[in-house]
Amino acid sequence: MSRPEDTLSADVHYNDSEARKYTTSSRIQNIQASMTHRALELLDLSSPSLILDVGCGSGLSGEILSSIPPEEGGPHVWIGMDVSASMLDVALQRDVEGDLLLADIGQGVPFRAGTFDAAISISAIQWLCNAESSDVSPAGRLSRFFNGLYASLKRGGRAVCQFYPKNDEQKKMITSAAVKAGFGAGLLEDDPETKNVKVYLVLTVGGGNLEGKGGDITGVVKGMEGVDVLDARHNNRSGKGEIKKGSKAWIIKKKEQMERKGKIVKATSKYTGRKRRVAF
C-alpha cells in the first residue's frame, strides 16, 4: 500500500473531503489523542506553556493541549501551523482555542527567536522527506524546518515529533537534520518491531537546568529503554584547530551550508577535495 506522501504534497492530499474524513474518524481521533498524550509525557511540562503545534491539521492535538488540567501542568496555550488550508478551515469550524497559521514547515518556522516553551508534531514531519519538484531537496526542507524550530524555542525548550519513517534511511535523514541544527536528539520507539510501531524524536535546546545536565536530551529520556541518544554538541569536539580552506572537510561543510539553504549540490565522493595533477 502506497503512502500518501509518496504521491502528493500535503496541501493537495488533504483537500476538503480528506480533511473532513480525517477529523471525523473515531479511529484517527483515538490514535491522535494517544500520541499527543505520549508527546506531552515526553515533554514533561510542569506549568502552563506556550506550545507550537507543527502540522496541527484540524486541531485534534491542540484541543488536548487546551484541556490539560492544572494538576498536570496545564492548560497550555498553543499556536498551530499547517500547509493544508482545508485542514485549518475545519479547525476554524470546530472553534479550537489555538491561533492558526497557514504555512509550509519545509520553508522554515516563521516566528521570533525564543518564542515557544515547547513544540509538538504528530504525524507530520515525514512529509518533508519528499520533494514536489526537482529544484527542491528533502535535505533542504528538513534543514530549514529544524533550523527554524531550533531558533523559535527558548533555551532549555523541548520538542517532541512523532512521525512514521518509510525506512531506516529516512529515519536517519530526519534525525541527522535535527542534530545538525543543534538539537540534542533522542529517538524513542513505542511497540517496536510491530506494525503499530510509533517513532518519537525527542529534542532539546541547550541552556536549561535539567538535573544539572544543561537541558540535554539525555536527561529527558533518562531511564527509558530502547532510546538512541544523538547529541552533536558533545561529540567530535577537539577543542582546537580550524578546518583548512579547500580541504575535504571544508568542502563538505560548505555543501551542508548550501543544502540548508535548499540548494542542490553534487554528492560527496572519494574524489571530493582531491587535488588534480598539473597537466603539461
- What confidence score (pLDDT) does residue 240 get? 52
Give per-residue pLDDT as tens, 166-218: 889 999 999 999 999 999 999 999 988 888 889 999 999 975 444 444 444 54
| Cα–Cα dist 269/272, whole Å | 5
Beta-carbon contacts of residue 125 (< 8 Å; ≥ 6 apart): 54, 55, 105, 142, 145, 161, 163, 174, 201
Largest CA distance in the chain: 79
Taking 70 as the pLDDT cut, the residues of the chain under it are: 1-2, 5-7, 131-135, 207-242, 261-262, 276-280
Model-wide pTM > 0.85: no
C-alpha cell at 206: 541547550
- What confidence score (pLDDT) does residue 262 get? 66
Rounded percentage of the chain residues whose pLDDT exceeds 70: 80
The three-class DSSP label of residue 100 is strand
CB 54 within 8 A of CB 125: yes
- What confidence score (pLDDT) does residue 159 get? 97
Give per-residue pLDDT as tens, 126-147: 999 876 665 678 999 999 999 9
